[in-house]
Chain A
Amino acid sequence: MMKEVIKGRRTVSDRRAQVHLTETIAILFIFFILVGLGISFYGKYKSISFVEQQEELLQARAIRATLKAIFLPELLCSRGSAEPEENCMDVVKAREFSPQLQDKFDDYYFEMFSYANITLQQIYPSPEKIPLYVHVPETYEQRETTFFVMALRDETRGERGVPSYGFGYLQVEVFS
Chain B
Amino acid sequence: MANKKGQVEVTINWVYVLVAGGIILLFFIGVIVKQKTASEEGLAIDVVRVMENIFVGAGVSEKTKNFIDTSGISEFTLYFDCLDGVGEYGLQGKSANVQNVIDPLFSSSTIHSPKLITWSVPYLLPFKVIDFLYVTAPNIKYYLYGQDDFIAELEKEGEEFGNIIVLDGQNSYMGIDPQGNDQIRVVDISGTLVKDGFAVPEKLLSLADEKVTALVLQGESALFFQKDAGRWHLLNTLPIPIVSLGGARDAAKLGAVFSTSPDTYQCNMGKAFLRLKNVAKVQLARAERLAEYYDLLNPAGFCTNLISHADKNAKDTLGEMIDLLESCTLVPEECDYQELIPLSQEVERINEELKVNCIALY
Q: Footprint of B on A, CB under 8 Å? A: 57, 60, 63-64, 67-68, 70-71, 73-76, 78, 80-81, 83-84, 90, 92-93, 95-97, 99-101, 104, 108, 111-112, 155-156, 161, 163
Contacts and interface: CB of A to CB of B under 8 A. Distances in A.
Contact of A100 (B61, B285, B357): B285
A99 B129 contact: no
Given A71-B61, A84-B62, A93-B282, A156 B359 contact: yes
Given A73-B130, A84-B128, A112-B102, A67 B282 contact: no
A90 B278 contact: no
Interface of B: 49, 52-53, 56-57, 60-63, 100-102, 122, 124, 126-131, 247, 274-275, 278-279, 281-283, 285-286, 289-290, 293, 351, 355, 357-360, 362
A76 B131 CA distance: 13
Contact of B101 (A73, A81, A100, A111): A111
B279 A74 contact: yes
Given A96-B289, A101-B278, A108-B278, A161 B358 contact: yes
Contacts of A83: 62-63
A93 B122 CA distance: 19
10 pairs of A and B residues whose beta carbons are closest in the complex: A96-B285, A71-B60, A161-B359, A155-B359, A78-B362, A73-B128, A74-B282, A156-B293, A100-B281, A100-B285
B60 A68 contact: yes
A52 B63 CA distance: 35
A65 B174 CA distance: 48
Contacts of A104: 278
Contacts of A111: 100-102
Contacts of B53: 60, 63-64
Given A78-B128, A108-B274, A101 B102 contact: no
A119 B161 CA distance: 39
Contacts of A156: 289-290, 293, 359
A63 B279 CA distance: 23
A96 B62 contact: no
Given A64-B53, A74-B279, 9 more contacts: A63-B53, A71-B61, A73-B279, A78-B127, A80-B355, A80-B360, A93-B283, A96-B289, A156-B293
B57 A99 contact: no
Contacts of B124: 81
Nearest to A65: B56
Nearest to A83: B62
B49 A60 contact: yes
A71 B120 CA distance: 13
A83 B362 CA distance: 12
A83 B283 CA distance: 17
A83 B121 CA distance: 11
Contact of B357 (A63, A108, A155, A161): A161
B62 A93 contact: no
A107 to B, nearest CB: 9
B228 to A, nearest CB: 36
B60 A96 contact: no
23 contacts: A57-B49, A64-B52, A71-B61, A71-B131, A73-B131, A74-B278, A75-B282, A78-B362, A80-B355, A81-B247, A83-B62, A83-B63, A93-B283, A96-B286, A96-B289, A97-B282, A108-B101, A108-B278, A111-B100, A112-B102, A155-B290, A156-B293, A156-B359
A90 B286 contact: yes
A65 to B, nearest CB: 10
A19 to B, nearest CB: 15
Contacts of A60: 49, 53
A100 B49 contact: no
A104 B276 CA distance: 13
B289 A100 contact: no
B351 A80 contact: yes
A64 B126 contact: no
B56 A68 contact: yes
A111 B274 CA distance: 13
A95 B278 CA distance: 14
Contacts of B52: 64
A97 B281 CA distance: 9
Contacts of B360: 80
B57 A67 contact: yes
Contacts of A112: 102
A42 B358 CA distance: 68
A108 B102 contact: yes
A13 to B, nearest CB: 10
Contacts of B129: 73
Find the residue from B63, B129, B282 having the highest chain A CB count within 10 A. B282
